[in-house]
Amino acid sequence: MNRIKKRILSGMRPTGRLHLGHHVGALENWVKLQETANSPTATEVFENFHLIADYHVLTTDLDVSGIYANTIDMVIDWLGAGIRPEASPIFRQSQIKEHAELFLIFSMLITKERLERNPTLKEQARDLNLGETLVYGHLGYPVLQASDILIYKGQVVPVGEDQLPHVEITREIARKFNSTYGPVFPEPEGRVTQFARLTGLDGQAKMSKSLGNGILLSDSPQEITAKMRQAVTDPQKIRRGDPGRPDICVVFTHHRKFNPAEETEIRAGCESGQLGCVDCKLRCAGRIADFLAPMREKRAYYEAHVDEVKDILHDGENRARHEAQKTMAEVRRAMKLGEI
Ligand code: TRP
């Protein structure tokens, strides 16, 4: 069988411990792609590179005090979820100088107007009320992301929907470079996970760390139950016996994802009114706790062996740097930089 090998470049900003939304929207998919290498039937085999976008944090927050601890917490969640660092290097953007170098070159290949049209930027500027405080580096956020992807010649970028505009900008930059200086870069393809986003337990559209409205991968069964109990359900279902509408209920979304075997039964119980919200939530919390149990165990190991996490980063950074240096040498050659 002909197996096509593709390189994946994916990353996250180090914002600390991850929640179920990160798992469903990204991590689960990363692990699935990583495991194609061990699957005899996979027609596409992936080689994962996982980036910690620590420079990107600075686009909206100059406070660096939490970056290191957040990085370690996030890496532990990645490892807990099944990223195998021997197969998939994990590395910090700031430890590989070539990102910054390529970022500088790329910043000449895209117009200010194009970056100002970026919908993700507009959304952030609105949500964070940035107005005139928006910095130059924030405008260039997707340009740095393009350098993250292209310095490793990433071909596939598994991302959430909000990141697709950045992948599109990456493609445009790759085309512009290739047509100006010669073919160096692939045009990467963005891949969005199939499962719809998990909404916040408080009913907000977005599960987000800052809102604290999601279950963390590191939460104990007690914490999971406590959060589930607080979850907002169908406002028309006030007591057991009232018929509910599972399709607008965030608890039901969690059942669909983490308790598929009982999905039909839960739906019927909710719609008929026989199943009360408290019971429904406790069952859901139980399934989620089971689902997270192996991750919690792996997490606990790494929390007790942080030196191993540091070694994983150093090793990943050496491997990533090697690739990045190869690409930069090609870029300099194509651009005749340094030729006398
Ligand atoms: N912008 C991404 C996010 O916020 C993080 C990121 C930075 C990234 N560089 C990347 C994602 C390269 C994929 C590829 O989620």
Q: What is the pLDDT of residues 259-306, one digit of tens each?
A: 999 999 999 999 999 999 999 999 999 999 999 999 999 999 999 999
Look at residue 159 in the predicted model and tell me its pLDDT: 87
Minimum mean pLDDT among 70-79, 110-119, 125-134, 275-284: which range? Answer: 125-134
pTM: 0.95
- Rounded to the nearest integer, the mean pLDDT of the chain is 94
For residue 157, pLDDT beyond 90: yes
* 235-258 pLDDT tens trace: 999 888 999 999 999 999 999 999
Q: Name the pLDDT band for 96 (thresholds 50, 70, 90).
A: very high
Ligand 1 atom closest to residue 26's alpha carbon, by position in its atom list: 15
Give the confidence band of 175 by pLDDT, cuts at 50, 70, 90: very high
Distance of CA 228 to the CA centre of its chain: 23
- pLDDT on residue 146: 98
pLDDT surpassing 90 at residue 329: yes
d(CA 4, CA 153): 15
Give 54-82 pLDDT, tens digit per residue.
999 999 999 999 999 999 999 999 999 99
Q: Which residues line ligand 1 (CB under 6 A)?
A: 9-13, 51, 53, 56, 145, 148-149, 157, 159, 163
Q: State yes or no: pLDDT of 211 exceeds 90.
A: no
Closest CA to ligand 1's atom 3: 12
For residue 176, the CA-to-ligand 1 centroid distance in Å is 21
Q: Residue 142: pLDDT above 90?
A: yes
Ligand 1 pocket: which of 30, 59, 103, 148 to mutate (most atoms <8 Å of CB)? 148
Residues whose CB falls within 8 Å of the CB of residue 206, separated by 6 or more in sequence, listed in order: 197, 199, 200
Ligand 1 centroid from CA 167, angstroms:
9
Distance from Cα 327 to the centre of ligand 1, integer Å: 20
Say what the pLDDT of residue 2 is.
75
Residue 80: what pLDDT?
97
pLDDT (0 to 100) of residue 129: 92
Output the CA 244–ligand 1 centroid distance in Å. 38
Q: Whose CA is nearest to atom 13 of ligand 1?
A: 10
Confidence of residue 309 (pLDDT cuts 50, 70, 90): very high
Whole-number Å distance between alpha carbons of 287 and 265: 15
Report the pLDDT value the prediction gives residue 125, as an integer from 0 to 100: 92
Give the Å distance between the CA of 149 and the centre of ligand 1. 9
